[in-house]
Structure formats: C-alpha cells, structure tokens
Amino acid sequence: MRKLYLISVLISFFTSFVYAEPVDFNDEYHVLRVKWSEGFLGKQNVLFDKKLKNMVIITNNKAQEYWSSMNIDPSRHTLWNDIKLDDQTEDGKKVLGEKLRISFQRLFIMAKAYQLRDGKLQNNPMILETIIDGLQFLNKNYYKVGAKEWGNWWNWELGIPKDINNLLIILYDQLPLKLITSYIDTTRYFTPEPTHLGASSGSYVSSNSNYRVSTGGNRTDNTQVVLLRGILAKNSTEISSAITALSSVINYVDQRDGFYQDGSFLQHYDIAYNGTYGNVLLNGLGAQINLVLNTPWQINTNKLQNIYPLIFKNYAPFLYRGTMMEFVNGRAISRPKEQGHNVGHNILTSLIFYIDYAPSQYLYPLKQLIKTQISQDTYLDFFDSTNQIDNYQKAQQLMQDSTISIADNQTGFFPFPAMDRVIYRTDDWVFSLAMHSNRLGNFECMNKENRRGWFTGDGMGYIYTKQLDHYHNYWPVVDSYRLEGTTVDDQIMGECQGQRNKIKGGRNIQMDWVGSVKLADIGAAGMDFSNWDDTLTAKKSWFMFDSGIVMLGSNINSTIGAKVTTTVVNRKITDTDTTDVFVNGDVWKGYNNVTVKSLLLHDPKQVDSALGYVFFTPTKLNLLQQTRSGNWRDIGITNSEVSSRFITASIEQTRENNSYAYVIFPDTGIEHISTYAIKNPINILRQDNIAHIINNLDEKIIAANVWEQKKVFISDNISVLSKMALMIKTEDNIEHISISDPLQTQTTLELEFNQPTKIIFDPEQRLQLSNKNELIVDVQDLKGRSYDFKVEFLSDKKLTVNQDNLGGGTMGWISLCGLFMGVFIRKNKQ
C-alpha cells in the first residue's frame, strides 16, 4: 500500500508540471547543453576509472546526506537548519547571499547524483522531486525578480547565477518549463548584460552598488552567466553578446584589471592575482570558448591565438611542481581548498581547455607543460580532483601519451614590474619575492578572508625546494609577524588592519622606489620601504644568483621607537626528530639568542631541501623551534584545525644595529657551501641610504640599487647619476649593462664613464652618448622593464673597484672571507 501511495503522489506531482519540449538531438542548444554537462558528468562513451567511480560514490553519499536533512515543512523559512536563511535581521542580511549560494550548491550536488551513471541515486524520481521543490522554494522566497542584493554583490550577480545555470543545464529535460523560465528571468534581473555589473534595482544595498564595467576574472564570470542563460532560453542574441564580450579579456591592459605584457595579472585594481582570479578568467574563457567551438557562435580564431603567449608568460612561470606560487593567490591563501597545490591543479585543468584549438607551434609545449607539472607534483595527486570530469579524462590521455616528454625545469630571472613581483628559478629551487609600492596594494582582506595578510607584500620571500608540503597548511599557523624577509615593528595588528590598496586604505604614496633589474638569467630587486602607517622605513635589496641570494638591508628606522625585527627564517619543518639545525657548524643546543656566522637546516628525509644561511658579519639571532597550532577560521571562514613545527630565526634591529647582510643557499649541500666559502666571491661595496652595491667576483658582475638622485660611483670606470637598478657584467673591455627605472616615472636615466667609450649594442636605439662619455638612456615607456645594452671601453683599463670612490657605506667593503671557513667542517667529517 505504501508503494502505491508514493507512486500516486509522484504521478500527481509530475503531471502538474509542463516540462521542457521533447529532446531534438540535432538542436544546437541541446548539443551545447550536453557538452556543458559533460564537464560535470563525463562523456557517456568514456569509462570511469577507479577514482571517478569513487567520486560517484562520494557524490551520492553527500547528496543522500543533503536530501535526508533537507527541510520539507511547508511553513519553513530555510532548506537546511545549518544554513539558515534570514532576510529580516541585519546580521542575517549580510550573509544571505552566501548562504543562498550554499543552498544552491547543495541542490546541485543532489542533481549531479541524480544524473551520474552507476550511482545509487541515478534517475531516482523522489530526489528529483525534492530538488524541484527546493528550487521552487528559493525562487519564490529569496532569489527572485525584484529581490535586494544583501551583503556581497558577487553572490547575487555571479556566483549564484553560475550555480543555477549549471543545475538547470544538467537537469534541463527533467525540470518544469515554468521553473526554468522563472530562473532565466531571475538571473536576467540580477545580471542582464555580459559586460556590466550592478545593474539590478536591488543592487543599491549590496557591497558595491555602482553600475560598472566588469573586468578580468569577473568579466568571464559575467559572460558565462549570460552565455548559459542564452542556451537555456534558446536566445541566440544573448549567446552572441556573451561571446563578443568575452574576447576583450585576451587583450593586454596597462592599468587596472587584466593581463599585462610583463606577465602580471591584476584584479581589484592593484592586487596580484595570476593564481585565483587569473584562473577564474583562464577557466571561464577556456570553458566558454570550447563550448561554442564549431558552432555558429564560435569566437574568431585569429583572436584566439593571443591566449597562447599569455599562457606561457602569465601562468607558466608561477607553476612549480604542480603548485601555483602563493604570492599571486591574493586573499585565497586563507582558503584550505585553494592552497598552492590546489590552485596549481586548477590552473592545469583550465589549460586543458586550450589543447583542442592550439596552433601547431603551441600544441606540444602546452601538452608538455601540463604533463610536466602533473608528473612533478609528488605531494598532491592531480587526479584526486574530479571537479571537471571531461578534462580529467583528457588529462589521463595526455599522461599516457608517450610522445609527450617531461620538460626541463624553467630557469631564469622573471620580473613582473606591473605587480611588484619577482621570480628567480634554478634547476633545483625557486625564490619568489612579493613587494608593493605606490602602484600596487600591499595585501587584500575582503569578506573575512586573509585577515592576517598584513606583511605578505612587505618583501616576503618564498623558497620552493623539493619539500613540496612546505606552504601547505602554512598560513593558519605561521607567525604572521615573522614572515621571511620582512622587516616589521612590534605594533599589535587588528584583523585586516594596515591595508594600503586602492579599495581600502589608499596605496602607500611614499614607496616610489620599488623594482627590479634583469641581466640574462640573473637579477636584483629593491624596495625603499615604508610600512603600513609610515612609521617604519628601510632600504631593502635582493641580489639573485645561481649560487645564492644576497639579502641586504640598511637605514632601518622606527619614528615611534618601536621594537623592529627582520625575519631571516620561518620554515615549516616536517619532523622534529629528523630536521637537524647547525649553528656555526655545531649542532644547535636550543638556545634562543645565539651569535651566528652560519646556519644550516637539514632533513635527511627531504632530498635536495637543505637550506644554508651565511652572514657577512657575526649576527645575533633569536632562534626558535616550536609547534604552532591554529585554525583556518583564524584567517578565513573555514573551520579546520592545523598544527605544524617551525624553525624561526630573526634579527632585532636597533639604532646601532640598523642593517643586515646575509646569503641564502637553497637546496644546498655541505660541499657546495665549503667551496663557495673558499672562493670568497661576494663583496659588499656599499650599503647605506644612497645605494646598495655588491660585486660578485665569480661571475664578474656588479649589481646596484641606487636610491638617491646623485652621483654614485659603481666602479672606477662607471658612475650613475639617477635613481635606478643596475647590473653590469664584464667581459674583457666590454660591459654588458642592464638598467631599469624602479620609479616607473622617469623619462631618462644617466650614467657616466671615465674613459672613451663606444656603444656596441643598443637594440631599441635608446642610448645617447656624449663626447664627454655621458650616457643618456631613454626609459620613458619601459614601465620598470629592464633595458640591456653593451658598451666597450676603448682603453686597456678594465673594470675595477676603488673603495675610496664608493662613499660612506655603513658596511664598506665586506667580504665573506673568513666567515665560511670551517663552518661545516665538523658536519663534513661525520
């Protein structure tokens, strides 16, 4: 009798609806719906492997959980008791959009379980009834035409419409036509155009009520909403308008959001975002282009070619063994599901969209990039993520293709002056550097995310070795006042305090000297630093060579007399018992305050991941090993506890001790450091408020960051008269010179030679040499980019350095001689 009752209820329920018209398999809109659905459900003719079969089980179990707990009381105000929908109280309104989106996402999981092959809920009419009931409830009471956009605008205009479109498409043939039409009208109310946001009459109460042009990753979300709605509505005009609006994101920009020619990607005006928002754009663009490929709405193929240089310039340099470097992930570092490896895998999944229509010259390199990154990530299996099943299956085919080899590691110096970022890549390790300036924000805290990001843009350095878990579960537990490479004072920071970006706080107008210079495969960076409230200043430099990274700081000053600390080390270690710490060649006894000439962190279980630090003068360090515990909700909105061991080493700066100088040797060994010590290759020539200058004797390179507009002697033969970053490599009488304008506002830079000189290489015709051997370099349109040229001295006099000419540097001529010797002798004998 119970079965008969249920059957009669279902018959009554389903016969009360008019459903979408019978399927026409030749209908272009049907073809597009099926193709979009394959991303979530897979192609019917491709078998699921073990992991995809497991995904089906997990999805069904989660859907069953949501189904069982869903509130079906006719008098209800919410679908799930743990996700309360409240449009009456002020606190409830602030999070209404967020909670509505979670509700739609749960319904989508239920819909996915209904459609996935071989699942226990496949084609279950009762769960379908519940899904339809939930959709009707949300549309009637909350997400409807005329509703107000309480809280974050993004949920109402982009997030929820995307989720709704996905759900309607995969269930299109099972849903009442009236319900589909009602949701089409609703998303058209919230997001009527593919080019603009803030268009609904309810947007005036949202976090951004301005009617505005969408840009960057928001543009691809914007077009996706309209494109999929056009498919659901069978509206060719909407589809065409969306595709037309989509193509603009491929263009380079020179301000605000989007791709920059130097490889940068900005979102929210001035935040570095190649990783997360950059992937929103990459994924949205690729998915939509693929969807309309070989249809009447196909995007212009000539226009498509522009994306491939972007892939290799704006994404590839930031990938390391499957991880996307954290310093371009913005506030997403506070999300446990968007850590470096997760974002890296998302990027690789997005890149798969671009294989099918890749030009011949990019097809193999693109496949090789994807395969290499997937193969090299031995920490997190790419195939553990099954969010886009169609691309998952394509990735499997790619990995099985024996004609695609693993690429050599990308090496070189990669400056990104539009977003104050630098990457230095070697065969074995990568160093990346995050700065900010009067052009770029220091960090972003938004929607309760990245609440402790205070100093992440203040010169934080990241060291990537084969310890691939180092930055995983890092951010909730790392001491946010002690980020490697930063100089901070002891002011207690509140959540989200200290933002200096266009949207919040205003950029730091005092920081105009921030930039880098590239010479061949090496480079240097510098920052005339002023902290978030302009009470702490410092000159900071990084000189990057294959042998190591030279770190210099000087003129560190607090105007409020605060305690100031420079953090040398803040490494997450894998195991208390296996990580060895050596101070001056001896096993560290655990003392906090130690005078250090050398420091070595070594874990025998971590291959090629040892880190060495050598100081130019004996330096007092506060050295600490501790277990730190935290929760992701401390910095974001996810509740998940984390605990890790850390080794921290920091320098207390005072008026008398207002500088630092040391070298980092990532992924090193004892023999290498000993050899390096004997050669004594690095001399500090100047380290003061005028300039930081070093001489690398091994590589015959002089590098300088010149802070002031005055004559500064770089060597006996060369002086500079402008603020600049500079590198010089000497080969006989030929000087290979690279310079940049870190201010990005100067029109020319000036150098002076003390002997007859001839220009022998000037590829862009930017040099003017007077008969007095004064050289003027035109830099007005370079925007911080380095310019390489060569000059020849016409006498036999070679490049030398006379200490008397260099001025009153605080460090003077300081070498590593004597400091390295014997540092690791004891360890080496073991």
Architecture of the domain made up of 709-793: Sandwich (2.60)
Would you state the pLDDT for residue 691? Answer: 99
Would you state the pLDDT for residue 6? Answer: 42
Would you state the pLDDT for residue 489? Answer: 98
Is residue 801's pLDDT more than 80? no
Is residue 291's pLDDT more than 70? yes
Classify the C-alpha dihedral 738-742-747-751 as positive or negative: negative
Is residue 670's pLDDT more than 80? no
Is residue 240's pLDDT more than 50? yes
Which tens digit of pLDDT belongs to each residue from 363-396? 999 999 999 999 999 999 999 999 999 999 999 9
Is residue 2's pLDDT more than 80? no
Residue spans per domain, the chain: 24-246, 248-410, 422-669, 709-793
Which tens digit of pLDDT belongs to each residue from 433-474? 999 999 999 999 999 999 999 999 999 999 999 999 999 999
Continuous H helices in 659-715:
670-679
- Percentage of residues of the chain with pLDDT beyond 90: 85
| Active-site residue list | 268, 277, 331
Strands annotated E in 56-101: none
* Element housing 703 (H / E): strand 701-706
CATH number for 248-410: choose from 3.90.550.10, 3.20.20.10, 1.50.10.100, 2.60.120.10. Answer: 1.50.10.100
**What is the CATH code of the structural domain delimited by 422-669?**
2.70.98.10
pLDDT, average across residues 658-664: 97
Which tens digit of pLDDT belongs to each residue from 714-755? 999 999 999 999 999 998 889 999 999 999 999 999 999 999
Would you state the pLDDT for residue 810? Answer: 42
Would you state the pLDDT for residue 528? Answer: 99
pLDDT, average across residues 771-789: 97
| Burial (Cβ within 10 Å: 0-12, 13-18, ≥19) of residue 140 | exposed
Do domains 24-246 and 248-410 share one topology? The answer is: yes
- C-beta separation of 596 from 440 below 8 A: no
Is residue 610's pLDDT more than 50? yes
Strand partners, 358: none
Which tens digit of pLDDT belongs to each residue from 30-42? 999 999 999 999 9
Would you state the pLDDT for residue 17? Answer: 59
Q: Average model confidence (pLDDT) for the chain?
A: 92
**What is the CATH code of the structural domain delimited by 24-246?**
1.50.10.100
Distance, CA of 443 to CA of 419 (rounded, Å): 12
Would you state the pLDDT for residue 384? Answer: 95
Give helix 50-69 / helix 389-399 axis angle, nearest 10°: 160
pLDDT, average across residues 246-260: 94
Would you state the pLDDT for residue 605? Answer: 81
